[in-house]
Amino acid sequence: MERKVITIYHGPQHPGITGNMSVELDLMGETITRARTHVGYLHRGFEKLIERRTIIQAFTIVCRICVPEPDPNEANFALAVERLAGIEVSERASYIRVMVLEMARLGAQLLWMAGQSGSVGLGTVGQWSIYDRDLILDLFEQLTGGRVYHMYIYPGGVRRELPDGFLERLSALLDYLQKRLDAYDRLFFDNASFQKRAIGVGVVRGEEVLRRGFSGQVLRGCGFARDLRRDNPYLLYDQLEFDIPTQSAGDVYARALVRRAEMRESIRILRQVIAQMPEEGAIMQKLPKHRKFTLPKEDTYVAVESARGEFGYYMAGDGSEMIRRMQVKGPSLIHAFSLLEPLLVGEELSNVALIMNSLGICPPEIER
Amino acid sequence: MMSYLEEHYELIHKTPRLFALHVTREQLLDTLHQITTHTSFDTLSQLTCTDWIEEERFELGYMLTNALRSHNLMLKCSIARDKVTMPSLALLFAQAEVMERELHEMFGIGFEGNETLYDFALEGWCDIPPMRREFDTLAYVNAHYDFREGREDNLDVKEEIKKRKAAAKSAKETPSGA
């Protein structure tokens, strides 16, 4: 019987694709013989728009660069502007920033769990984890006025003081989530259905992975304890205690286990923040007026560890109130092209969504 | 790691963990080879481009990081805007392929040796590469898109505020029921 190669497009309209992206697949039966990533379905030209805007105008755009995880963008933007403009941030504002980033990390991991469980048909997990993420979003709404896009971390500090009783409510939510993580172990991570689908699939291994620019759970899932919060610390992470979980198998399941442990570490960090945050102190430095807020003709690079890996901003000023160049470097560009394309070859069609989710690919961040 | 760099290059210390050095187009490959051989900066993590149109040059930034991810080194290379080709780094770093592909599309820079310089995020684009400073986003939008009906009154925010203020003033001056 003649064996025929057929080509199909997995996405952009597909429940198993992480956002607006498409993977062109050549199939021999169910087996993938070639994969090509296509992006551009969500190109909004943000980097171009930012070049024509003042700092506060650009600030309203950056959080939209990555929908599931906007806060690392705000942090990067603020850190880069502060470094170029020579602005120091108060200790209290730094603690609040760490709190926001860890809440965002927890929310992003819960959202990831919904996507990953959906890709193996465990729909209940997603219903639970989206509900739990919503509880985090409720707190974000109290703090910032926004649920998904917060526009809260601004150069100089943060934009609003904590509402009354906020830390108590956050503490109560952490108690609740801690118990829920045990339930997620039973429902999802220790579930034989998920284990059978995830173990031995999408394996990334070897020393070479460090040279190829991968980050996040891809590195930690194959044994490399790399995390910018400890390796190249920013804000107050060097004053907080937390572990960097690793696994050695390098497969989809290993990356899931890393995420599972990271959620517990985020709760641990948040508890320290609640205990250590100074009760008083400025949350925002005095800044130049809107049109006089200029950046010198210099450049810099800042990066934070997002829930999916290294998230960096290159920023250059030119002496004017506009940002001359801001270029985003998220983990997705390399993961979606240099990693996903070869990784899919030889895999079954049914594993595409599973592997994509495990790599933490967020298309909006690729094309900006 | 740093002693080798300081001995052989004019290193710019931007922060305790971020360094930069300038290279020419001709020096780029050799410098990269030397640095990746003699230091632990062996990973390309980002490729940036800034358009300094008033100086008629692009500035490319090759961001290297070490295996511990603790330090970053940026190799900066200026090239004339009208002579926009660079040697590809795809043979040195697999991830350079897609980074170069993006810059090719957005700035029109050619990368000799990269066989994948086809469409990246823009399909069938035939205008000026859009990240070049001379590309006018507003003019492009006006030339290619129509404004949706019903949104005309919101086009000029300042005018709209003036109109609303005038309407409020007029409503205040006019007695109710008149």
Position B3 scores a pLDDT of 80
Q: Are strands B18-23 and A299-306 parallel, antiparallel or unpaired?
A: unpaired
Residue with tokens 């006025």: A145
Beta-bridge partners for A27: A6, A32
Give the domain CATH number at B64. Answer: 3.30.460.80
Q: Within a domain: residue B53?
A: yes
Q: Within a domain: residue A20?
A: no
For chain B, give the longest Cα–Cα distance: 87
Chain A residues with CB under 8 Å of B89 CB are none
Is residue B100 over pLDDT 80? yes
* A260-281 pLDDT, tens digit each: 999 999 999 999 999 999 988 8
Provide the edge-to-edge strand list for the sheet that holds A5-10.
A5-10, A22-28, A31-38
Which stretches of A93-156 are assigned E, i.e. beta strand?
153-154
* A215 part of contact set with chain B, CB < 8 Å: yes
Q: Within a domain: residue B30?
A: yes
The residue range of the domain holding A288 is 44-331+346-367
Q: Within a domain: residue A173?
A: yes
> Exposed, middle or buried by CB within 10 Å (0-12, 13-18, 19+), for B149?
exposed
3-state SS assignment for residue A54: strand
Q: Within a domain: residue A24?
A: no
Mean pLDDT, rounded, for B170-175: 83
Position B153 scores a pLDDT of 61
Position B73 scores a pLDDT of 93
Question: Predicted confidence band at B147 (pLDDT cuts at 50, 70, 90)?
Answer: confident
Rg (CA), chain B: 25
Q: How far apart are the first and last CA of chain A?
A: 46
CB contact under 8 A, A211 and B131: no
ipTM value, please give it. Answer: 0.87
* A231-246 pLDDT, tens digit each: 989 999 999 999 999 9
Q: Within a domain: residue B148?
A: no
Pull the structure tokens for residue A115: 């996507």
Instruction: Report which listed range, A100-109, A276-285, B16-25, B67-76, is most confident.
Output: A100-109
Nearest residue of A to residue B107 by CA position? A48
Residue with tokens 């823009």: B122
CB A315 within 8 A of CB A326: yes
Give the domain CATH number at A77. Answer: 1.10.645.10
Q: Within a domain: residue B176?
A: no
* A310 part of contact set with chain B, CB < 8 Å: yes
How many structural domains comprise chain A? 1
Position A132 scores a pLDDT of 95
Residue with tokens 């481009």: B49
The residue range of the domain holding B109 is 2-122
CB contact under 8 A, B98 and A337: yes
Q: Within a domain: residue B50?
A: yes
Q: Suggest the residue from A36, A57, A211, A215 to mutate for an interface test with chain B (most B CBs closer than 10 A).
A: A211
How many structural domains comprise chain B? 1
**What's the CA gap between B113 and B86, in Å, rounded?**
9
Q: Within a domain: residue A310?
A: yes
Q: What is the mean pLDDT of chain B?
A: 87
Out of A43, A211, A303, name the one closest to residue B42 (CB): A211
Q: Tell me the one-letter amino acid at A48.
A: K
* B121 part of contact set with chain A, CB < 8 Å: yes
* B46 part of contact set with chain A, CB < 8 Å: yes
Q: Are strands B72-80 and B18-23 parallel, antiparallel or unpaired?
A: parallel
Nearest to B26 by CA among B102, B77, B70: B77
Is residue B156 over pLDDT 80? no
Task: Check the CA dihedral B59-B60-B66-B70 and report its sign.
Answer: positive
Is residue B144 over pLDDT 60? yes
CB contact under 8 A, A48 and B131: yes
3-state SS assignment for residue A270: helix
Question: Predicted confidence band at B5 (pLDDT cuts at 50, 70, 90)?
Answer: confident
Q: Within a domain: residue A142?
A: yes
Mean pLDDT, rounded, for B18-32: 90
Position B155 scores a pLDDT of 67
Position B152 scores a pLDDT of 65
* A179 part of contact set with chain B, CB < 8 Å: no
Flag residues of chain A having pLDDT under 50.
none
